[in-house]
Structure 1
Amino acid sequence: MMSITSGWNDYRPTKAGLIWAAAGASILTMVVGFAWGGWVTGGSAQTMAEQASQNAREQLVASICVENFVADADAAANLVALKEESSYQQDDFIEDGGWSNVTAIDEQVTGAADLCAEQLVAMEALPARTLGSDTAPGVIPTTDG
């Protein structure tokens, strides 16, 4: 009777068998990598990078928009008016008010006004502003010795 180890030691695969085994292992590796390993093609990676860049721009401009809205002298009245608008017109209200405009960016960032409106509508009340500050919103005052 032949043992498993001696049978394994005596086994001599053919070249065709080795080639098919290598091809099968390569295909299996690719299937596992793309399906569960998180591998993507170059085109998919480019699309994902562009989407992440757009989302980051939207978030940044929306944050600036919220700051501009809150810093406005009529912020409380504007917040009430914003909440009275229908959800599909709130972004127009933000754009018309100019709060989503960033001077360093020539064109409007698509989706930023929507995000800004969502964040503002979700607020229960406006954050407290520091009155009497001689600096613009978002500027950290410095002390010169």
Structure 2
Amino acid sequence: MTTPEWLKPGIYGALLGAAFVGIVGFSWGGWMTRGGADEFATAMAEDEVIAALVPVCLEISRTDPNRVAQIAAIREASTSQRRNVVMETGWATMPGSDGPNRDLAQACIEGLELDAS
């Protein structure tokens, strides 16, 4: 089938317009692929779970009989090592889990610094 000469500019324009809309939509329009949306949703859910568990971490720290010594050890540790110290205290280990959570330990540090007396 031959395409009439007068129709070719319209076809080229439609193809270029579709490509332009796709590029602009994914670059600046906020569109994303299913994989990107899944990654975004997973990261957001993990952040919300950590935020919900921070009060549990703080309560565990409040009821720890060695709290004063543990807080002193956290304060003495370098900024890069504080998370490891909190993980060693067991405060970032939630009941029923196998080990401490690094992200929870970091969030708990922020709460402890505000809460520490």
TM-score normalised by structure 2 residue count: 0.75
Structure 2, unpaired ranges of 5+: none
Query: Which amino acid counterpart does residue 96 of structure 1 have in structure 2?
Result: E
- 2:74 corresponds to which letter in structure 1? L
Is 1:37 the counterpart of 2:68? The answer is: no
| 1:62 lines up with 2:54 in the alignment | yes
How far 1:46 sits from its partner (Å)? 2.0
> How far is 1:70 from its partner?
2.3
Cα deviation, 1:23-44, whole Å, max 9, x if unaligned, reads 1221121122111110112222
Q: What is the Cα deviation at residue 115 of structure 1?
A: 1.9
Q: Does the residue aligned with 1:111 lie in a helix, a strand or coil?
A: helix
What is the total number of aligned residue pairs between the two structures? 113
Code of the residue aligned with 1:67 in structure 2: it is E
Of 101, 104, 123, 2:114 maps to 123
RMSD: 2.4
Question: Which of 1 and 2 has greater Rg?
Answer: 1
8 A Cα contact 1:66 1:119, kept in partner: yes
Corresponding residue number in structure 2 for 1:24:
16
Tell me how far apart the structure 2 counterparts of residues 105 and 119 of structure 1 sit (CA, whole Å): 21
Q: Which runs of 4+ in 1 moved over 4 A?
A: none
* Contact 1:61–1:109, Cα closer than 8 Å, also in 2: no
- Using a 3 Å threshold, how does the CA distance of structure 1 residues 108 and 73 change in structure 2: closer, same or farther? closer
Q: Percent identity?
A: 26
Where relative contact order (Cα < 8 A, 6+ residues apart) is larger, the structure is 1
